[in-house]
Structure 1
């Protein structure tokens, strides 16, 4: 197990470098000048622009800029915002916890509701309950998240008055429940359908018939045999989905005025603040890589036949 983890950690290095380099080059290729954008329509001395670029290292070749950024990341320095002159690490530190809370709410909702619906539908495959779950999940997949967000605002905020249409305090977890539900809707549908298919398939497996023939209690058959084998593909999807929820929060945060990473990315792109965008992507890549490592290790917990040499 230890050698496997060490090998996976080493494999993360080229993935991390390749991803951050790609985003860095994409930000460099965007049209516009971030220093010139600070002054809008005002006239400014070109010498002053050159001096500011030199202060931030923007006058260096792109590869030199990336290497300097990479060296700074390993020291905890993600660069400095040009507009506010604040360290990018401080800016991310303020916005990221909000998105993490929103992602956790959406993830818990996805797991609890999505897996429950999938289990009910899978154990009653072909019946009315199964059909109802399939219709519901198909509707959630078909409706874009921004449309669902406005519908939820109209129903739960405007009509019922259970909450405010937009988030007033992004640090209050209770106000993130509605946007978290909207964020989780698409993932919930996929988890429910994946769980349903896995449960229905394993219900017909030989080992299930053997367990029933041995006279094992139904609760033990479902919890120890059916669920553990059926959850392997679901756990794989959920591991990948954490990254999808964090990136999908950009749209949801815009609809509900959540002051998280999504709002920060939008402002950074509009001002062409490459350091901020690359810093956010760097943090997300690190989270994504370690979550996938944890998912791979969970395989051995769910299925005793899986061993990592």
Structure 2
């Protein structure tokens, strides 16, 4: 197991470098001059612009800028915002905890409700509750997230008055419930369908008939034998979904005025703050890589037949 983990960690290095280099190159290729844009329509001395670019290291070739970024990254330096001259690390420290809370809420909602719905439908496949689950999940997949967000905001906030329509800058836990439900609704549909399909398939397996023939309690048959073997595809999806929830919260955070990573990336793209975008994406890439490693390790826990040499 130790050798496998070490090998996976070494494999993460080229993936990390490749993904961050791709995002860094895309921001470098965007049209416009972020330093010149600071002055707006006013005339600025080209010498001043060149001096500021040199100070920020924007006059260097792409490979040199990326090398400087990696060097600073290993020292905890994510760069500096051009407009405010503030460290990008401060913006990340402000926005990232909010998005982590939102994504955690959405992940728990997706996992608990999605698996429960999938098991409930899978135990009675092709029955009424199975068709009802299919209808609900197809509806969640078909409706865009911004439409679902506005509908939830109008119904629960404006009509029923259960929650505030906008989240405060502090983003308390109770304020993030509705945005988390909206954010996790699409993932909920996929988790429910994956669980339903896996449970219905494993119900017909030989080991399930053996467990029933041995007279094991129904709770043990479903809770241990059936669920343990049905969760592998679900865990695979949930592992990658953690990073998706964090990176895909731009629309949801915009609807509910959540001052998280999505809002920070949107504002950074508007002002062409490449260092902010690259810094946030770098952390999301790390989340993806760590989640992928944890999912692979969970396979051995869920299925004893899987062993890592």
Q: TM-score range by the shorter chain?
A: over 0.9
Taking structure 1 as the reference length, the TM-score comes to 0.99
- After superposition, the C-alpha distances for 1:193-245 in whole angstroms (9 at most, x for unaligned) are 00000000001111100110111111111111100000010000000111111
Shift of 1:169: 3.6
1:78 aligns with: 78
2:37 aligns with: 37
Shift of 1:42: 1.3
Shift of 1:168: 2.2
2:210 aligns with: 210
User: Tell me, which stretches of 5 or more residues in structure 1 are unaligned?
Assistant: none
- After superposition, the C-alpha distances for 1:277-299 in whole angstroms (9 at most, x for unaligned) are 00001010011101110110000
Q: Which stretch has the larger CA shift, 19-28 or 33-42?
A: 33-42
Shift of 1:166: 1.3
User: Tell me, which stretches of 5 or more residues in structure 2 are unaligned?
Assistant: none
**RMSD across aligned positions (CA):** 0.7
2:245 aligns with: 245
Tell me if the contact between 2:171 and 2:258 (Cα under 8 Å) persists in the aligned partners.
no
Tell me if the contact between 1:170 and 1:258 (Cα under 8 Å) persists in the aligned partners.
no
Q: Distance in 1 between matches of 2:115 and 2:193?
A: 9
Q: Distance in 2 between matches of 1:49 and 1:265?
A: 25
1:146 aligns with: 146
Q: Distance in 1 between matches of 2:135 and 2:150?
A: 21
Question: Matched residue of 1:209: which SS?
Answer: helix
2:187 aligns with: 187
- Deviating above 4 A after TM superposition, structure 1's stretches of 4 or more consecutive aligned residues are none
Taking structure 2 as the reference length, the TM-score comes to 0.99
Question: Matched residue of 1:161: which SS?
Answer: coil
1:221 aligns with: 221
Tell me if the contact between 1:170 and 1:176 (Cα under 8 Å) persists in the aligned partners.
no
- After superposition, the C-alpha distances for 1:23-74 in whole angstroms (9 at most, x for unaligned) are 0000011011110111111111111100110010000011100000011111
Question: Matched residue of 1:132: which SS?
Answer: helix
1:173 aligns with: 173
Matches within 5 A, 1:115-126: 115-126=115-126
Matched, 1:25 2:25: yes
- After superposition, the C-alpha distances for 1:251-301 in whole angstroms (9 at most, x for unaligned) are 110111000011100111011111000000101001110111011000000
Shift of 1:7: 0.1
2:68 aligns with: 68
2:278 aligns with: 278
Shift of 1:126: 1.1
